[in-house]
Amino acid sequence: MAELKADDGGDDGDGVQIDLISAERMENLRTMEKIRLILDGVHDDNIVILESGLTPDEESKLIEVTMSEISPDGFTGIEIETYPSGGSDSGFLGRIMGKKDDSKLTVIGPANRIKTLHKDENFISTLVTRK
Amino acid sequence: MGLLTDFRDSIRRVTRSLFSAQDPKRIGIYGPPNAGKTTLANRIARDWTGDAIGPESHVPHETRRARRKENVEIQRDGKSVTIDIVDTPGVTTKVDYKEFLEHDMEEDDAIRRSREATEGVAEAMHWLREDVDGVIYVLDSTTDPFTQVNTMLIGIIESQDLPVLILANKTDLDDSSVTRIRNAFPQHETIPLSALEGDNMDEVYEKIAEYFG
């Protein structure tokens, strides 16, 4: 699946750009490359949607790097939501091996523009405000 | 849970008990801001050493540096367990200094506090990946535990194979719901307590000895 970008097509800056990033694109990147891809998008006020999410270790580093980039009157951090939250067994073999399907759709955006309205195990509703 | 996972967990428990007489384990107290982590850390430290760890406050991010209390010896059922307690800043994915202005803080102080808070959260994440042997995860039982930060943190702790004890704090408040926390993380044992009032601390100490001893 290729990366898909969606926006209102204008340069007037009042639209909301959504970057849908495929699992295929992410799997070839190193941890810091993934974090840079996400945070560069968020710094540009984009909403980043990852098809396959991040590993727990990558999530930990994403929080750490995010903290280092917060500044007064500038970047205030990220809002992030994922599902499924607990992971699901990946079939019979997966259950035998104790292996879980770690893929989890993940929505990340700038904290000052995105607000989660509702979330459960298979539904995320998000409000995105314009600039 | 898979058969191999069960087997792996059994091996881990046996290995842990074999090495239990070694150096004190570093137990990180983690959780979101204002869950009562420092109140708990102070309660444990005062009960067993007579000293506190740090100041408590209702203002978020009062703890902005990881603080350690070493060689806390907890005695349970004739046995003693020695741990180092690491009280960590509340983990979040966002910090806006303007939120501190609502707590009657001058702008310069709010900016400084937010800067220290971001450094503290980064430090807490680093400790979690590198430097703790177990985690006490503290949640405010009056608030919704189904947050992304809680889900991520528990996932990170599980991925590190660290033993984790979940504490549902603030049971002295009317709108406390321990069941809500149990339902959020059914894969882990949840112990209710009021760190402020000292309610149910006996069970907390029993579980600390059981999980980290």
Query: pLDDT digit string (tens) for B149-198?
Result: 999 999 999 999 999 999 999 999 999 999 999 999 999 999 999 999 99
**Any chain A CB within 8 A of the CB of B155?**
yes
* The predicted structure's pLDDT at residue A9: 44
| pLDDT average, residue stretch B115-128 | 92
Asked whether the beta carbons of residue A98 and residue B4 sit closer than 8 angstroms, the reply is: yes
pLDDT at B21 over 60: no
pLDDT at A98 over 70: no
Chain A residue with minimum CA distance to B111: A72
With cut-offs at 50, 70 and 90, classify the pLDDT of residue A89. very low
- HSE value, Cβ hemisphere, 13 Å, CA-based, for B141: 24
Nearest Cβ partner for B2 among A78, A95, A116: A95
Rounded Cα distance between A108 and B94, Å, is: 12
Give the rounded percent of residues in chain A with a pLDDT score beyond 70. Answer: 73
pLDDT at A85 over 70: no
For residues B95 and B149, is the Cβ–Cβ distance under 8 A?
no
* The predicted structure's pLDDT at residue B3: 55
pLDDT at B210 over 50: yes
For residues A108 and A89, is the Cβ–Cβ distance under 8 A?
no
| pLDDT average, residue stretch B68-72 | 91
Identify the residue with better confidence: A62 or A84. A62
pLDDT at A20 over 90: yes
What is the rounded average pLDDT for all residues in chain B?
A: 88
With cut-offs at 50, 70 and 90, classify the pLDDT of residue B13. low
With cut-offs at 50, 70 and 90, classify the pLDDT of residue A128. confident
pLDDT at A6 over 60: no
Asked whether the beta carbons of residue A77 and residue B4 sit closer than 8 angstroms, the reply is: no
Residues in chain B within 8 Å Cβ distance of A84: none
Shortest CA gap B140–chain A (Å)? 20
Shortest CA gap B50–chain A (Å)? 34
pLDDT at A33 over 90: yes
SS (HEC) of chain A? CCCEEECCCCCCCCCCCEEEECHHHHHCCCHHHHHHHHHHHHHCCCEEEECCCCCHHHHHHHHHHHHHHCCCCCCCEEEEEEECCCCEECHHHHHHHCCEECCCEEEEEECCCEEEEEEECCEEEEEECCC
pLDDT at A73 over 50: yes
| pLDDT average, residue stretch B89-107 | 89
Residues in chain A within 8 Å Cβ distance of B148: 80-82, 116
What are the extents of the domains in chain A?
18-128
**Any chain A CB within 8 A of the CB of B131?**
no
Rounded Cα distance between B137 and B139, Å, is: 7
- ipTM above threshold 0.85: no
* The predicted structure's pLDDT at residue B23: 76
* The predicted structure's pLDDT at residue A79: 93
* The predicted structure's pLDDT at residue B58: 77
Shortest CA gap A14–chain B (Å)? 23
* The predicted structure's pLDDT at residue A15: 81
With cut-offs at 50, 70 and 90, classify the pLDDT of residue B143. very high
Asked whether the beta carbons of residue B1 and residue A81 sit closer than 8 angstroms, the reply is: no
Nearest Cβ partner for B156 among A59, A67, A77: A59
